[in-house]
Structure 1
Amino acid sequence: MRLLLKVLSRLILFAAAQSIQDAGPTVLTQQGVVSGTQILPSVRQFLGIPFAVAQRWKAPTLPPVRSGIFPATTFANGCLQNLVPENAEYLRLNGNGGLDVPSGEDCLAVNIWAPSTNRKQNTAVLVWIYGGGFVFGTSGIPVFNGTNMVRDNDDITLVTINYRLNIFGQPNPPQFSDKENVNFGLLDVEAAIQWVHANIANFGGDPNRITIFGQSAGGSAVDAYTFAHPHDTIVKGTPVLLGGKLRNHTDWNTVSAAVGCGSAATLQQFACMQKVPAVNLEQAVISIGAAFSLIIDNTTIFSDTQTRAANGNFLRVPLLLGSTANEDDIFLVAQQLVASGITVPVLTEIFSDALSAFVGTCPASLTASHRLNADVPTFRYQYQGVFRSLSTRPDLRAYHSSEIPMVFGTYNGTVINGISLPATADQVALSKYVQGAWVAFARNPTGGLPSLGWPLYDPRTATIAQLGNFFNTSGVVFGESSLIDAACNSQDVLAAIVAQVGPLLPG
């Protein structure tokens, strides 16, 4: 009998081991074993791993421990998006996808690209936070695929995350007390960072070398994290790709009435809203044009942020930040196409040049100055590249989000109007430089960029990295902030231009 039990035990262990082997590369997390894909001989891929669970309008909590192997081979649902016509047109213009991503409330997941076990382990870790104005966006699209970055660079692991959006992320219901009324999407971001810190070592990443980076709303989320956690010990660096704005919205009662829960701010109304199918809420938000963006909750976003910034009351880790030269091109084109189906490129450029300073250049300048005043090592850039495979219209230059495929090395995956145009040699070279710079920063936030000849930012000298500009379309030229930031000292002039040109634009 003992011999039989021993044989059965060995057979069970062999079967379990064989099952894990057949499942692909496996990693143990705090919630159990996950099985990914050997996407390339040099890269392991793990998709859709739950980092948290959350009931509607509740803070995220850790997922339960699993007894079986979790198949991390497909992306999780994206979080529900507000794809009003302007947002949908923006996604079509940038060609990065996101319009047809399956979505749902069960969406809090991470995706991980890690080097194969025969490559360097204990790597630096980059955690990506997507943009979309906190109302749309998802991690499960080709432009954010980390395969190329990990394939082409040693000592790096890339993580992308999902977080709740729009009415699901920052609902601002009248029934909530000040303590209850928080930006749940930003709490999701914090939960993801904590999960990565707790688990990334088993994927080959170094939990003591985590850098968070994001673009637009994702960049705002990075900035918000530094103010919400001034004494954090997890995050060691923060690249920020700026652009976008924060707004307060109070559309709760309008949406409630649209889904049959009434417009009166009662407890019964809130209970009714909790039971409405998620897709019905999503459709109501889109149909009435509501947009639930960040609120000042004094937990994730503070009413005295500017005072905190001026006083240096934020997480003092090295910062890499910048914007694109023509941020507003894509927004203006999208608005005009939705309104009238036509654009006037010359007027769009004039109007965009004024707005882009407000949206990208000037906020970058102000943020950099606050960091410098607090003696934080700061690196600054402006992306100026214009390439046919990305900027496919005469009124789309170095527009908002055009640098993202260059960072990820996914420019060949961009499809505009069903056409994917090949990258030029200069574009390939610039992407290699940009990607190498971001990886160097993640590896060593203080010394990585100087090792490439990229100096610390100093507004008195030529230290702004101009990426892909006219004088070096395949690399970098360093310029003076007095030229890049000239418009930031002429806001009255810019406002006058906006007032004169705005009525001339179609729509």
Structure 2
Amino acid sequence: MHTVPALVFALLSSVSFAAGSLTVNTAQGSVVGTQALPRVRQWLGIPFATAARWTAPSLPATRTSPFNANAYGPSCHQLTTLTTEYYLEFAHQDEPLTVSENCLSLNIWAPSTFRPQNTAVLIWIYGGGFQFGASDLEVYNGRNFVRDNDDLIIVTFNYRINMFGQPNAPQLVSTTNSQNFGLLDIKATIDWVKNNIAGFGGDPNRISIFGHSAGATAADIYAQAYPTDTTVKGMILQSGSIGALNDLGSPTLDSAPWHTLAQAVGCGNSATPAQFTCMQGKSAATLIQAARDANINTFKLVTDNIIIHSDWANRMATGNFLKVPTVVGTAQHEADPFTVGDSLATRGNAPPFITTARADILSQLISTCGAFTTSKGRYDNGVTTWRYQYQAVWPGINTRQDLRAFHGAELPIVFGTFASVQTNPEPTVPEVAFSLYVKNAWAEFARNPSAGLTGVGWPTYNPSADTLVQLGNVENLTGHSLASPSLLDATCPHASTLRAILGQYNTILSSI
């Protein structure tokens, strides 16, 4: 039997050991974290790169003193509209942000040192159409994810977006240097994690990436940009794929927003060196406000044939991409929050039936058919793939009756942050169980992408068999059921017809 002094000594020794484990040496110097939970250590706001405006990222300078990684770094500058602000409210992402151009930092949640080390690593890429998004939102906090799963580290980070991420500046057109700076930031993050994660208890040979919306699109682009990459061992694409380039990217360069913005801030609309120098001299806040005032809400990714290739569809079809195990998923009613948000922004109401039908067509066009393309491309090239559709509706997450299983509804479930972001009602027992099921599935994939989700009963994707995993379906609210993906994808060959029908709905809505 232990004496009281012996127990006190053991307790003090364990506390000392845990405290010492919070200091980690990186290539740029030591960083000091905090104990987020008894089972979870965290480091927030670690600079992974530095970059002057409209330049590629580079490693930060070496530090001579420890970096206190006890608070999130600032977010990158956001470009939103009233419609997307409604979406952020629906998706529990409308927290106030501190923004800066000096925003390239990352956050790490790792198991406490009394738990197994040398863990798998999941790197999160946020969405936001490459116009908005941040890593310091509560919905993306990785503490519960790591708390509930051994053999796992979660990393989140910021990357540049909108005019700062892909300015479409004519002066930056090059055959060797990309101006998709946000995508370069993502590559810099992955490289930093590869080189430093061992000190945090991670396995640099077991790194996977996962993302939502634009974040999933960025991951899919990464697969084509770096087809011989040896760092990323698996991918989870949530509601986004390279097929989204039809809407998020430009065929070559879309310089109209750049020139409109330059004219608005007094730099002229001619593609001269003087115009670029003038734009560099304007404050970030001035550029963001001018874009909003001029109703510029999108700066598209640039098809530069360096990171984004104009023949991306052919590359997907012929297997010219990074062939690692991949999970591809969508939400059943992706477009609900944008359709409702757009209605609220323009009319103050969301007319029934018209908005529902419009949302269903949009969901098919912008999400389901892209998931079909990227899943089928992998299947045809022998890549182990899983495909799911998220169908769950939880009252605390779905705060409006006109929102079904919407774009981003799964995020509080995946990260296990639902109790923090929803206020009413309290999480139910099935909701808690469902979140644990989904977190465990994602962690299972991260631990060994090659085996992937077989351990949780998911069949690998086959377009002609019952291999579509339906998450939170009415048949199994806390797990999954199976269906045929062919039924889901049946209208995808008729995209032009769907777009024509969508135009008719838009006409009706504009007259209401």
- TM-score normalised per structure 2: 0.92
Q: 1:473 aligned to 474, 477, 480, which one?
A: 477
Q: Report deviation, 1:484.
A: 1.8
Instruction: Name stretches of at least 5 consecutive residues in structure 1 with no aligned partner.
Output: 1-18
The alignment status of 1:505 with 2:509, answered yes or no, reads: yes
The alignment status of 1:392 with 2:431, answered yes or no, reads: no
Q: Report deviation, 1:97.
A: 2.9
Q: Which residue pairs with 2:275 in the alignment?
A: 269
What are the Cα deviations for residues 99-138 of structure 1, in whole angstroms up to 9, with x where unaligned?
A: x110010000110000001100000000000000001000
Q: 2:172 aligned to 173, 176, 195, which one?
A: 176
The alignment status of 1:355 with 2:355, answered yes or no, reads: no
The alignment status of 1:325 with 2:332, answered yes or no, reads: yes
Q: 1:213 aligned to 199, 210, 215, which one?
A: 210
What are the Cα deviations for residues 29-78 of structure 1, in whole angstroms up to 9, with x where unaligned?
A: 00001011111111001000000000000000000000001010100000
Q: Report deviation, 1:293.
A: 1.8
Within a 5 Å distance, the mapping from 1:73-92 to structure 2 comes to: 73-92=70-89
Kept in 2: contact 1:130–1:217 (CA 8 A) = yes
Kept in 1: contact 2:120–2:153 (CA 8 A) = yes
Within a 5 Å distance, the mapping from 1:286-325 to structure 2 comes to: 286-290=292-296, 291-325=298-332
Question: SS of 2:406's equivalent?
Answer: coil
Q: Report deviation, 1:496.
A: 4.7
Kept in 1: contact 2:325–2:452 (CA 8 A) = no
Kept in 2: contact 1:229–1:314 (CA 8 A) = yes
What are the Cα deviations for residues 386-429 of structure 1, in whole angstroms up to 9, with x where unaligned?
A: 111111212110111111111101112224xxx44312222212
What are the Cα deviations for residues 169-189 of structure 1, in whole angstroms up to 9, with x where unaligned?
A: 001112223234520000000
Code of the aligned partner of 1:112: I
Q: Report deviation, 1:252.
A: 0.8
Q: Distance in 2 between matches of 1:148 and 1:26?
A: 21
Q: Which residue pairs with 1:488 in the alignment?
A: 492
Question: SS of 2:98's equivalent?
Answer: coil
Kept in 2: contact 1:328–1:356 (CA 8 A) = yes
The alignment status of 1:435 with 2:439, answered yes or no, reads: yes
> How much identity, in percent, do the aligned residues show?
48
Code of the aligned partner of 2:248: L
Report the number of matched residues: 486
Q: Which residue pairs with 2:199 in the alignment?
A: 202
Go from structure 1 to structure 2 and tell me whether the alpha carbon gap of 1:305 and 1:40 turns closer, same or farther (over 3 Å shift): same
Please tell me the root mean square deviation across aligned C-alpha atoms, in Å. Answer: 1.8
Kept in 2: contact 1:125–1:205 (CA 8 A) = yes
Kept in 1: contact 2:85–2:94 (CA 8 A) = no
Go from structure 1 to structure 2 and tell me whether the alpha carbon gap of 1:375 and 1:121 turns closer, same or farther (over 3 Å shift): same
Code of the aligned partner of 1:282: I
Code of the aligned partner of 2:53: R
Choose 66-75 or 388-397, whichever is displaced more: 388-397
Q: Distance in 2 between matches of 1:448 and 1:88?
A: 36
Choose 186-195 or 429-438, whichever is displaced more: 429-438
Q: Which residue pairs with 2:90 in the alignment?
A: 93
Code of the aligned partner of 2:363: S
The alignment status of 1:162 with 2:164, answered yes or no, reads: no
Kept in 2: contact 1:219–1:242 (CA 8 A) = yes
Q: Report deviation, 1:477.
A: 0.2
Kept in 1: contact 2:178–2:307 (CA 8 A) = no
Question: SS of 1:211's equivalent?
Answer: strand
- TM-score normalised per structure 1: 0.93
Within a 5 Å distance, the mapping from 1:361-376 to structure 2 comes to: 361-376=368-383
What are the Cα deviations for residues 137-180 of structure 1, in whole angstroms up to 9, with x where unaligned?
A: 00011000000000000000000010001000001112223234
Kept in 2: contact 1:412–1:420 (CA 8 A) = no
Go from structure 1 to structure 2 and tell me whether the alpha carbon gap of 1:96 and 1:366 turns closer, same or farther (over 3 Å shift): same
| Runs of 4+ residues deviating >4 angstroms | 19-24
Q: Distance in 2 between matches of 1:467 and 1:476?
A: 5
Q: Report deviation, 1:487.
A: 2.5
Within a 5 Å distance, the mapping from 1:451-466 to structure 2 comes to: 451-466=455-470
Q: Which residue pairs with 1:188 in the alignment?
A: 185
Q: Which residue pairs with 1:11 in the alignment?
A: none
Q: Distance in 1 between matches of 2:315 and 2:19?
A: 53
Choose 165-174 or 289-298, whichever is displaced more: 289-298
Q: Which residue pairs with 2:454 in the alignment?
A: 450
Go from structure 1 to structure 2 and tell me whether the alpha carbon gap of 1:487 and 1:123 turns closer, same or farther (over 3 Å shift): same
Code of the aligned partner of 1:41: P
Kept in 2: contact 1:23–1:35 (CA 8 A) = no
Q: Distance in 1 between matches of 2:270 and 2:500?
A: 42
Q: Distance in 1 between matches of 2:39 and 2:304?
A: 44
Question: SS of 1:221's equivalent?
Answer: helix
Choose 369-378 or 255-264, whichever is displaced more: 255-264
Choose 128-137 or 477-486, whichever is displaced more: 477-486
Go from structure 1 to structure 2 and tell me whether the alpha carbon gap of 1:22 and 1:355 turns closer, same or farther (over 3 Å shift): closer
Q: Distance in 2 between matches of 1:437 and 1:112?
A: 20
Q: Distance in 2 between matches of 1:221 and 1:377?
A: 20
Choose 234-243 or 119-128, whichever is displaced more: 234-243
Q: Report deviation, 1:499.
A: 3.3
Q: Report deviation, 1:354.
A: 1.3
